[in-house]
Structure 1
């Protein structure tokens, strides 16, 4: 990747935006930001093609905020919508909205933004739009509904952005986008941001752009091999489960991890399997409410938990779903894609438990790690490689793919594609030499635990999770609005208890640990004890403060005795 020649402070950006950029820890712009921001500030239409994790969102958000601030310096009394941002999924809309809030932290009074992607009653969102927010974020379907209801106007729109443009039509929004265009003014600036240049993107280009600049960066679809390591491991289904169990239980994989599977059922099968060993995980899939998915991603980014099991369902056909009448009624959210666009922050490891069914799906999965220009110190993947005949540590983004016999051809296609953008003649995928014979005790336990997760247990777990999340989403909504601190304690990695849990399964006896890992595991246990002690001390202090706060709030009239009127 080329080095940046222009820094943020050299782009004539408002000081308030520069302070927000500094707060986010961005020391220098990425390539797409360096090239794109100056062109957008000049008012040019643009089609941006850059790989996932390259910083496209900030590249179009910063110029939007800058133009709104400049406009308001001249027109102090104008309350109107100046920017409209369309995205194909609720999660991505929510993420863009939060990025805008971060970048407007020093000018929040001047620049107002709302996210209307949530599928709630439009009457609840209408008050947000009556104030004519400067920036509106939403899915095309939701934006069109509000436009048809005259809840806001685009008469004075300055900029329209379509993020992940190559997914908008494939998510079924072609009609909605065509209708939204009818509400646009005669002159506006348009931006299309995409990771690929598909036929759908070219259709959108003809529909929205005029004399556009094509910003197609000369960079590979993936982070360079110096920043992202690819590993492969041949294993059948049960052996995959053994290896995953060992990696987490022996702390061979540390840091934030996303485990990708190809179906929703496999999400819950893995969760129930790991639950039996005391390994807490949370799941993300299209059946969960959008508010739950956004909250899960937020807590993951805030380090509430470290492991997410995600089903990447974009490329799945009907043949992967059971054909029974009962399962055909499952409600999936079409506005869902985990592998695309979502910014999982500082992910150390991506594990393909099921190898992706498509080249681009692999690219977008492993693009969840080694993102942007995050410093190497953030990629905290520590793997004791003496166990694998090596004597060093990796401290960078890592992708590990488990492959069975049927998935070998898919791997070859991915490797051939990645090699096209690399001049060096070397293997992309390194061998992950896991010694199954040294963890025979784990293997015995894991196979029993894997077989214990039956189809009935998976079905019950799915229903239980959906009911639990719907309860949190609906019945407790007003409570969480009044008690926002309590929302922070709501977790998505709780045990589902549809498989019998045995206490001894979560412990690892000393005799089961391979000889080459004994010192490492002992050291990790001591560190964990220190961390838990610090956490206990921290929460004790918080509890004391909370009790004092409750005492102050107590009604002092309670407990007072009424003696009645005294006789004179």
Structure 2
């Protein structure tokens, strides 16, 4: 456990104030070990689990050293280069730098060149010579070749974040070419969640006599912070169980639902829409700005459920214009049109995630660890629930062994106690919804999303202004209805709720039902009020006066 405080590490007062604003009481283990070494100018190779604070572990000393160097050097230049494997991680690193430099923003300027697709739009930003540049290796290399990014005489430090993904995302050749255009002497940092062959190769290329920090800690938080469950169920039961968990509020708080491919994510989204359960989809087909926007909305609480694919399902890096593929991804071929610089289960900081639900079983031990690392971050508790098919039991055994469990030891992924026979009454509803989610519905849902992205694209705005006919054709194209939503599936009848779950089900859901079934007296329809007060057969009263009047009338008539 960390014993030092940030002020004991010799950090600038402006940084300390920003750290206090972020609510960090004390450094994590990786921060306590790495910050003093980095401030002394050492090269670092650091391995620490996802969510342990690796980003701040290199940013704090980098900003500290930059502030000190700027006291003696007046010339503005790019002095720090941070390489990341994904655009989302680049955006996140930039945001963290801005938070840490809140009180010294005039002295430290940062530019993220990983997020925007248009290279020409980034040239004016780099011409201002920001102190720190964040980007993917391929984008940084393009700017170096175009001489809009020159580091040969000014670079002080190079950081490669999530280093174990750099080669696997196809950046091997880009990185080698990029290193040829850097000075011979600079400080280097390699930050990674795992040590593999790729990290060893990068270490030999970049580091000079580094200090290796391989912290003796588990790959995931202990059971007091992270609870891990598994439940064995086949395909149809997965949908039934997910419906039950979400609709009856058995899973609460922000939840990330992981699937293994893009089509699967849309199938699950359309399935949940049948029951009026809102969820957003995050996958590699979406433009980077849209992905960052979705992550931002999820973090701000606009959505409770996000359906995400991870890097295991992505394709090999596709060829770019005038450029051969830099390398090959691990994990085989994926779907056409996906962004090779995309990754969800690695690096991205989802805020306050209470549950990670593996709807599809992760394809490797590393993938499970990185998915689980989206929750139980910092000191917050978290839950991981994994659906396991019969054919996936060998993979489950591999994960148990990697996390310290096994046949001779206590299971790390505890069996989730759930009686499927108690929710059989919901099965017909799930089957009804699954019949509506056809292949054609999934195709139309993906087309609809692409159409909306085209209409909202800032990059195509100028084109549509010059070609209004194309804009109107796209805007007034035939409306797509991906799946027919049946209104009766929105509500859950009381008689379908299992007796053992009635005390657990969200009381607000049941309270709303009571209100609908017991209308107040003030809302009685006007027709009923009229019948009650104006019906002459009920209001007529016999009196003596009425009888005399009736007798006289009868005599007169005779």
Place the TM-score, normalised by the shorter chain, in its bin: 0.7 to 0.9
SS at match of 2:342: coil
- 2:84 match: 87
Is contact 1:47-1:191 (8 Å) kept? yes
Alpha-carbon separation, structure 1, partners of 2:512 and 2:364: 39
Equivalent of 1:501 in 485, 491, 499? 485
Deviation of 1:312 after TM superposition, in Å, equals: 2.1
Report what 1:405 is aligned to.
Answer: 390
Rounded Cα–Cα distance in structure 2 between residues aligned with 1:246 and 1:328: 31
Which structure has the greater CA radius of gyration?
2
User: Are the equivalent residues in 2 in contact too, given 1:289–1:470 (CA < 8 A)?
Assistant: no
Give the C-alpha shift of residue 56 in structure 1.
0.4
C-alpha spacing 1:232/1:140, structure 2 compared with 1 (3 Å): same
Q: 2:527 corresponds to which residue?
A: none
Give the superposition deviation at 1:313.
4.1
The 3 A distance-change label for structure 1 pair 294 and 181 is same
Gaps of 5+ in 2: 317-332, 463-478, 514-558
The structural deviation recorded for 1:289 is 0.8
Q: What's the counterpart of residue 450 of structure 1?
A: 434
RMSD between aligned alpha carbons?
2.3
Q: Deviations over 1:184-210 (max 9, x none)?
A: 122110000011111111111111110
Q: Name the CA shift for 1:259/1:528 in 2 (closer, same or farther; >3 Å).
A: farther
Decide whether the 8 Å contact of 1:257 with 1:351 is kept in 2.
Answer: yes
Aligned to 1:533: none
Task: Please give the secondary structure, in 2, of the residue aligned with 1:192.
Answer: strand
Question: Which residue number corresponds to residue 365 of structure 2?
Answer: 359
Summarize the alignment of residues 478-493 of structure 1 with structure 2, pairs less than 5 Å apart: none
The corresponding residue for 2:113 is: 116
Which residue in 1 is equivalent to 2:261? 263
Q: Quick check: 1:238–1:450 contact (8 Å CA) kept in 2?
A: no
Deviation at 1:91, TM superposition (A): 0.7
Q: Cα gap change, 1:175/1:518 in structure 2, threshold over 3 Å: closer, same or farther? A: same
Structure 2 SS opposite 1:48: strand
Instruction: State how 1:219-234 maps to structure 2 within 5 Å.
Output: 219-234=217-232
Give 1:303 deviation, angstroms.
1.6
Q: Aligned to 1:238, what secondary structure does the other structure show?
A: helix
Q: Distance in 2 between matches of 1:528 and 1:56?
A: 46
The equivalent residue for 2:72 is 74
Indicate if the aligned counterparts of 1:465 and 1:496 stay in contact, CA closer than 8 A.
no
Check conservation: 1:84, 1:159, Cα contact below 8 A: yes
- Structure-1 residue corresponding to 2:469: none
Matching residue of 1:131: 128
Whole-angstrom CA distance in 1 between matches of 2:139 and 2:302? 31
Match of 1:293 in 2: 291
For residues 96 and 157 of structure 1, do their structure 2 counterparts lie closer, same or farther at Cα, with a shift above 3 Å needed? same
Q: CA deviation at 1:168?
A: 0.5
Residues 289 and 473, structure 1, Cα contact 8 Å, conserved in 2: no
Separation (CA, whole Å) in 2 of partners of 1:296 and 1:186: 41
Where in structure 2 are the equivalents of 1:54-203 lying within 5 Å?
54-75=52-73, 77-154=74-151, 155-203=153-201
Cα distance change of structure 1 residues 528 and 453 upon mapping to structure 2, 3 Å threshold: same
Deviation larger for 112-121 or 236-245: 112-121
Q: How does 1:426-441 map to 2 (within 5 A)?
A: 426-441=410-425
Structure-1 separation of matches of 2:155 and 2:144: 13
Instruction: Write the distance in 1 (CA, Å) between the matches of 2:250 and 2:225.
Output: 19
Instruction: Using the TM superposition, name which of 309-318 and 225-234 deviates more.
Output: 309-318
**Equivalent position SS for 1:443:** helix
Instruction: Tell me the secondary structure at the aligned position of residue 353 of structure 2.
Output: coil
Aligned length: 480
Q: Any unmatched runs of 5+ in structure 1? A: 319-326, 377-395, 479-494, 530-568
SS in 2 for 1:74: coil
Instruction: State the match for 1:204 in structure 2.
Output: 202
Match of 1:532 in 2: none
TM-score, length basis structure 1: 0.81
Give me the whole-angstrom Cα distance separating, in 1, the residues matched to 2:440 and 2:204: 50
Which contiguous aligned blocks of 4+ residues in structure 1 show a shift greater than 4 angstroms?
A: 315-318, 475-478, 526-529
Say if 2:88 and 2:115, in contact at 8 Å, map to a contact too.
Answer: no
Q: CA deviation at 1:475?
A: 6.1
